[in-house]
Structure 1
Amino acid sequence: MASLFGHGLVAYTVSKVVDSKSNKLLLFLAIGSAILPDIDVLAFKFGIPYSHPLGHRGFTHSILFAVLWSVLLAFVFGKSRKLIFTIVLFIATLSHGLLDAMTSGGKGVGFFIPVDNARFFFPFRPIKVSPIGVKEFFSEWGINVILSELKYIGIPCLVVLCVLFISKKMMKQQWKNHV
């Protein structure tokens, strides 16, 4: 898996790009939703194997889970902005599995569970897989994960956020010039 930091950064970026109002609740829900799929690591504690549909990178990493979760949260918290909430939360939740499918380890991601239990990786897998557990994260392995995430997640997100910031500033300036 990518680390919580990488998942959170993608959700932050998605929220800023899609939600022009920069709703703080939506931002918080997006970051939480991008991290949530790893709740399935608890399956190991209950003896559920990795390859089981409820195992790690299983149902909570699926497209169906992202749809159900985003619609539920949009219904509960979206008020008059349900569509924006659904879009942001769907992309944020799904981004978790997409990032995990680009990591160097694990047994793949169950994008189509419960319809198909097959696990998938993308051909391009540059992100170092994050260790499971806090203790292992604060090691040389964890440092390598952070460095790969900076390169393959952090820099692209920063570029997107900079382009967004500059384009908003330019649009504001153009608006002032026309008024």
Structure 2
Amino acid sequence: MDTITHTLFGLTLYGTVDKKEMDKNHKRAYLVTAVGASLIPDIDVISRLWDTAGQYQMWHRGITHSIFVTPLWAALLFLICAVLFKTKDKRLFFLGWLAVVIHDTSDLFNAWGTGYLEPFSNDRITFGTIPIIDLVFWTIMGIAFVLSKKNKKKSPYYFKMAWILMSLHLIIQSIQGFLIYNQYDGKYDQVALSADFVPWTYSVIVKQDDTVTIFQDNLFQEEKERYVLVSDKGADLDYLFSRRPEAKTLYEWSPFVVVVDDGKRLGLYDPRFYREGQSFLYEYIER
């Protein structure tokens, strides 16, 4: 998910806490823990500062997003709050742990993929059933915030209901995505799924030999062929990788890529992020 969504997750998690009997320091500790733990796995973005080998694509959402690291992040937030706010509430650890688990697990459901099982597996696990920016999540959380302002006594109730509704949305989206994926699986060499911003609508990206086709599909209408892309099988990828290490990383990271060699540019891109004639996830060199 994007940074805004993870921040809203943290605020919504904080909203579920009954803070009636808490002093100011405890409230601050709970807020910092809920929001901080909801964001901390993305600290891996700073690896761009020292990435000279073109490995950022692998590092981002890698070990920092591992389910096995989640208690360490929670412990770190617990210690930070103990120092800053002089709190020793053990519930802060479990709140932080839950927040990190929500971050890492929610990232599994969009097309980018997550190193959820690192260091035991380098595979990027992705279900592709939820868009990176999910406006349904935003709407549900926004309504909870509005209702909580109008009735502060029932504030935790509204936020707990928001989590229930978001969980139902994720389940419904994922079941539909699974059913659609199965309609294509077995018919093509490779299949990938990417949820669109419109609920219950998906881009299905399939590859057969050197041809990649992108369909728009849902359970309530016929599939629509949106793009047909041809990968250049004769392109010199070794030359590309030697000049642009990031291209090799993208090639290994993506389920499959489209290779382009038009005489002016040599490169490749991930077709799961192909929109309006181009993919925002690409690497190339000028000829």
**TM-score range with shorter-chain normalisation?**
0.5 to 0.7
Looking at both structures, which has the greater relative contact order when contacts are Cα pairs under 8 Å and sequence separation is at least 6? 1
Change (3 A) 1:98 1:160: farther
Spell out the pairing of 1:121-136 with structure 2 (5 A cutoff): 121-122=126-127, 125-127=129-131, 129=132
CA distance in 2, matches of 1:48, 1:60: 18
The structure with more strand, counted as a fraction of residues:
2
Does 2:102 match 1:119?
no
When the two structures are superposed, what TM-score results if normalisation uses the length of structure 2? 0.43
Task: Return the offset for 1:49.
Answer: 2.1
**Structure 2 match to 1:101:** 108
Residue pair 1:15, 1:30 contacting (<8 A) in 2 also: yes
Bigger shift: 8-17 or 21-30?
21-30
**Structure 1 match to 2:55:** 49
- Aligned mate of 2:29, from 21, 25, 32: 25
Residue pair 1:71, 1:86 contacting (<8 A) in 2 also: yes
Partner secondary structure for residue 64 of structure 1: coil
**Structure 2 match to 1:150:** 135
Residue pair 1:101, 1:125 contacting (<8 A) in 2 also: no
**Structure 1 match to 2:93:** 86
4+ long deviations beyond 6 Å: none
Percent same amino acid at aligned positions?
A: 26
Residue pair 2:37, 2:99 contacting (<8 A) in 1 also: yes
Partner secondary structure for residue 80 of structure 1: coil
CA distance in 2, matches of 1:160, 1:118: 36
The structure with more helix, counted as a fraction of residues:
1
Change (3 A) 1:4 1:168: same
Partner secondary structure for residue 70 of structure 1: helix
> Which stretches in structure 2 are left out of the alignment for 5+ residues?
156-287
Q: How many residues align?
A: 143
Task: Return the offset for 1:166.
Answer: 6.2
Residue pair 2:36, 2:77 contacting (<8 A) in 1 also: no
> Which stretches in structure 1 are left out of the alignment for 5+ residues?
130-144, 171-179
CA RMSD of aligned residues (A): 3.1
Residue pair 2:115, 2:122 contacting (<8 A) in 1 also: yes
